[in-house]
Amino acid sequence: MEYFAQQLINGLTLGSIYGLIAIGYTMVYGIIGMINFAHGEVFMIGAFVALIAFLAVTATGIAFVPLLLLIMLATSMLFTAAYGWTVERLAYRPLRGSFRLAPLISAIGMSIFLQNYVQLLQGARVKTLQPIISGGVVLMEKDGFTVVLSYMQMLIVGLTLALMVAFWFMIERSSFGRSQRACEQDRKMAGLLGVDVDRTISLTFVTGAGLAAIAGMMFLLYYGVIDFFIGFLAGLKAFTAAVLGGIGSLPGAMLGGLLIGLIEAFWAGYFTTEYKDVAAFSILVLVLIFRPTGLLGRPEVEKV
């Protein structure tokens, strides 16, 4: 029971990170119907910018942890928002009226470019960070095994829940959310009714990049190890989470992220670490066989 509880905590923490990245995929797909395969690299850049900000700020002598984290978060979100906006302008907007494969190929090319761009700037070696937030709460202890909920895990899960609530209010109550929903239903009609479609799509990319930056910073703080390749792996799993939950559904993206995290944690804990990815993708295949739209997805209605 104790081991199960610890793996449950670990899985929810990892799933929260995947869920934040998956929201970026599902937001872009919901509006323009395309997958932004460069989104994983934006997550990776967010982690690197957070690390660089940490090194720059600590070099000035600032050691107050809340201020340090705030500066890291603001810097990372600012830079990744710029990258998200650039990806939309270069890889998607010029090809928006083209055949559907063109933006997809362009996004894959942008992903490869960003990956190699970071490798050239930062090198291929692994970058490490010593724990900034340490300690935790002992939940139970039995037969020498201790179940610990670390403060870092509390921060990740708590921040994820807060962001989900904030996003729900933004989508449902704000003018930007109404513009997003209008563009999702019919971009041409939304434009005729006064919605700035280009601005809405650009802000969606920027918002998704900001969430990826938060996920990248959380990944850096939680694991303390990053390299130029983490964006590919995390992006692929987050995309899997978005499809599993139902591509185009924000709650589905978070649900899919949590499920992928739990599958990985329990498989690695009870079976073997080498095949945890195989287990996650196998579950995805099974779900899509019996429910092609994902767990919370809705069937697409053809507009005629």
Report yes or no on 275 lying in a domain: no
Selection from 264, 214, 221, 270 nearest residue 241 by Cα: 264
Cα distances from 74 to residues 46, 153, 160, 187, in angstroms, run: 10, 20, 16, 32
- Whether 38 and 110 have beta carbons less than 8 Å apart is answered as yes
Q: What is the DSSP letter of 292?
A: T
Tokens found for residue 35: 């997958």
Residue that has been written with the tokens 């190890």 in this structure: 225
**Which is it for strands 225-226 and 145-150: parallel, antiparallel or unpaired?**
unpaired
Report yes or no on 21 lying in a domain: yes
Tokens found for residue 176: 């930007």
E strands, 38-135, in order? 127-128
- Whether 256 and 243 have beta carbons less than 8 Å apart is answered as yes
Report yes or no on 248 lying in a domain: no
Range of the domain at 212: 2-230
Report yes or no on 300 lying in a domain: no
Total domains in the fold of the chain: 1
Look at residue 146 in the predicted model and tell me its pLDDT.
Answer: 86
Report yes or no on 259 lying in a domain: no
Q: pLDDT by residue for the chain (304 residues), tens digit each? A: 788 999 999 999 999 999 999 998 888 887 777 788 889 999 999 999 999 999 999 998 888 889 999 999 999 999 999 999 998 888 888 887 777 788 888 888 999 999 999 999 999 899 999 889 888 998 888 877 888 999 999 999 999 999 988 888 888 888 988 998 888 888 889 998 888 998 999 999 999 999 999 999 999 999 999 999 999 989 889 988 998 988 878 888 999 999 999 999 999 888 888 888 888 888 888 888 888 888 887 665 555 4
Give CA–CA dist 6/8, Å, rounded: 5
Cα distances from 268 to residues 102, 206, 237, 277, 278, in angstroms, run: 38, 34, 16, 9, 11
Cα distances from 132 to residues 36, 72, 74, 302, in angstroms, run: 32, 12, 17, 51
Report yes or no on 304 lying in a domain: no
Report yes or no on 247 lying in a domain: no
E strands, 31-85, in order? none
pTM: 0.92
Report yes or no on 256 lying in a domain: no
